Amino acid sequence: MNIKWHENPLRTTVELTDNERERFRLKLKIDEYEEAVGMAALYLDEKGDQAKYFSLETARRYLARVQKEEFENEHYDDFIREIESGYHCGDCTSAPSSCAKCYAEGLLGIDTIPGLKHDVAVYVDAAFGRDENVGIDEAIRRLKTYEPVPSGGWLELPPEKFEANVDHWKKQARAAYKWLVDYKRSRLA
Ligand SMILES: [Zn+2]
């Protein structure tokens, strides 16, 4: 496994050998089987807390997925793409979805953004933005000099509402700055 630390930590990628890919495929398969069987069990619970959801039909549908030939490969390609070229976006960056890259890294037993909390990661994400030419030094500079400026919906609210949040936002940006400086020193040196 070759982890290629990117200047933007949310874009770090991992190269897998054929053996590692195969292990990943099997782990994903087990995970998906467990989920399907767990869901089926939930719909087969006749007497317990879930009894009101009892449904042979739904349980059968979950179990039918396990039998499908293509089941194991359904998401494999997507997750491999996340590992090899994707970027973190989801729970880990305060976006309202689960992060496929975090999930895939979890199956591999790695974490390329350890200690980066989601409400701090969102500042790291914003410092790089969507311009792939922004390097780590520029992102660090942006975080170091971060000054919140009212925009969007804030412009319609009384200025004191905005002001009330400024200290908190600056604190988060400061935490992002420290994390990124440490990342540069430990991963990119
Ligand atoms: Zn993530």
Distance CA(187)–CA(189), nearest Å, equals 6
How many angstroms separate the alpha carbon of residue 39 from the centre of ligand 1? Answer: 25
How many angstroms separate the alpha carbon of residue 95 from the centre of ligand 1? Answer: 10
pLDDT band at 12 (very low <50, low <70, confident <90, very high): very high
Q: Percent of the chain scored above 90 by pLDDT?
A: 80
Distance CA(25)–CA(48), nearest Å, equals 34
- Distant-in-sequence, close-in-space partners of 20: CB < 8 Å, separation ≥ 6: 1, 108
How many angstroms separate the alpha carbon of residue 17 from the centre of ligand 1? Answer: 22
Distance CA(72)–CA(33), nearest Å, equals 9
Same domain, 22 and 67: yes
Same domain, 12 and 90: yes
Q: Is 139 among the domain residues?
A: yes
pLDDT of 23-77, one tens digit each?
999 999 888 889 889 999 999 988 888 888 899 999 999 888 877 765 656 689 9
Q: Is 125 among the domain residues?
A: yes
How many angstroms separate the alpha carbon of residue 108 from the centre of ligand 1? Answer: 13
Q: Is 134 among the domain residues?
A: yes
Range of the domain at 155: 118-187
What total number of domains does the chain contain?
A: 2
How many angstroms separate the alpha carbon of residue 167 from the centre of ligand 1? Answer: 26
Of 90, 108, 126, the one marking the end of a domain is: 108
**What SS3 class is residue 131?**
coil
Give the predicted TM-score (pTM) of the model: 0.86
Same domain, 178 and 122: yes
pLDDT of 79-109, one tens digit each?
999 999 999 999 999 999 999 999 999 999 9
Same domain, 74 and 151: no
Q: What are phi and psi of 40, to 5 degrees?
A: -60, -45
How many angstroms separate the alpha carbon of residue 159 from the centre of ligand 1? Answer: 34
pLDDT confidence of residue 69? 60
Q: Is 50 among the domain residues?
A: yes
How many angstroms separate the alpha carbon of residue 97 from the centre of ligand 1? Answer: 10
In one letter, which amino acid is 129? G
Same domain, 13 and 101: yes
How many angstroms separate the alpha carbon of residue 69 from the centre of ligand 1? Answer: 29
Same domain, 44 and 91: yes
Q: Which residues surround ligand 1, an ion (CB under 5 A)?
A: 88, 92, 99, 101-102
- Listed in order, strand segments (DSSP E) in the chain are 2-4, 13-15
